[in-house]
């Protein structure tokens, strides 16, 4: 047995309010748009689809909640209010928060229950990394990071780093290095 703790309820309440605010602005106006989703938005969504799908199959619901919070933060940073992203989010949330999901699903214009909607399909292509953020060091101290496409040669990386304005003030130093690692 475990003692009842209301802190958990407060956290859930804050999360659901944050989720609700993705659909409404501060003035109470509906903000969902039919714009095409950006690659970063699709990446956040499809990482979540993959995680929630796997977690539901493995009965690991706590890690799904954590993944929801991470995705929601990413999407809010991107100021996402696009139907292409929000509709699948509502479907993903429905097993965890059915009442708010049903309300939002209805407001999105659907007449059937969200429980009858198909689980969103994970598309791996949206989550593939195509750039890498290289740490650039001068005299053994990391000075800045430079994001470059994957697959370019070491010479191209070095040329891009040396051409960066942030490198110009450190370029006169004798020892220049950058680390070529991929995560």
The separation between the first and the last C-alpha atoms of the chain, rounded to the nearest angstrom, is 42
In tens, the pLDDT along 4-52 reads 677 778 888 999 999 999 999 889 899 999 999 999 999 999 999 999 9
Can you tell me the mean pLDDT for 145-158? 83
pLDDT at 100: 97
The confidence band for 171, taking pLDDT boundaries of 50, 70 and 90, is low
The residue with greater pLDDT, 72 or 148, is: 72
The confidence band for 152, taking pLDDT boundaries of 50, 70 and 90, is confident
Sign, CA dihedral 43-44-49-51, equals positive
DSSP classification of residue 134: E
In tens, the pLDDT along 87-108 reads 999 999 999 999 999 999 999 9
The confidence band for 183, taking pLDDT boundaries of 50, 70 and 90, is very low
Q: Is the model's pLDDT at 174 over the cut of 60?
A: no
Q: Is the model's pLDDT at 80 over the cut of 50?
A: yes
Q: Is the model's pLDDT at 81 over the cut of 70?
A: yes
Q: Is the model's pLDDT at 182 over the cut of 60?
A: no
Q: What is the pTM of this model?
A: 0.72
3-class DSSP state of 138? strand
DSSP classification of residue 24: B
Give the span between the Cα atoms of 104 and 86, in whole angstroms: 10
The confidence band for 132, taking pLDDT boundaries of 50, 70 and 90, is confident
Can you tell me the mean pLDDT for 59-80? 93
């Amino acid at each position: 047995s475990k003692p009842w703790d209301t802190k958990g309820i407060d956290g859930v309440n804050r999360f659901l309010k944050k989720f609700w605010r993705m659909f409404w602005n501060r003035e109470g106006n509906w903000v969902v748009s039919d714009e095409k989703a950006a690659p970063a938005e699709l990446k956040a969504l499809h990482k979540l689809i993959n995680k929630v799908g796997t977690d539901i199959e493995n009965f690991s619901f706590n890690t799904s909640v954590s993944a929801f919070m991470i995705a929601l933060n990413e999407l809010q940073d991107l100021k996402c209010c696009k139907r292409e992203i929000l509709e699948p989010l509502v479907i993903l949330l429905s097993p965890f928060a059915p009442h708010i999901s049903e309300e939002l699903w209805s407001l999105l214009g659907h007449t059937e229950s969200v429980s009858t909607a198909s689980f969103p399909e994970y598309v791996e292509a949206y989550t593939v990394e195509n750039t890498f953020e290289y740490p650039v060091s001068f005299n053994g101290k990391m000075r800045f990071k430079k994001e470059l496409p994957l697959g370019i040669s070491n010479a191209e990386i070095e040329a891009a780093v040396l051409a960066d304005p942030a490198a110009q003030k450190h370029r006169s130093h004798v020892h220049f290095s950058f680390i070529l690692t991929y995560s």
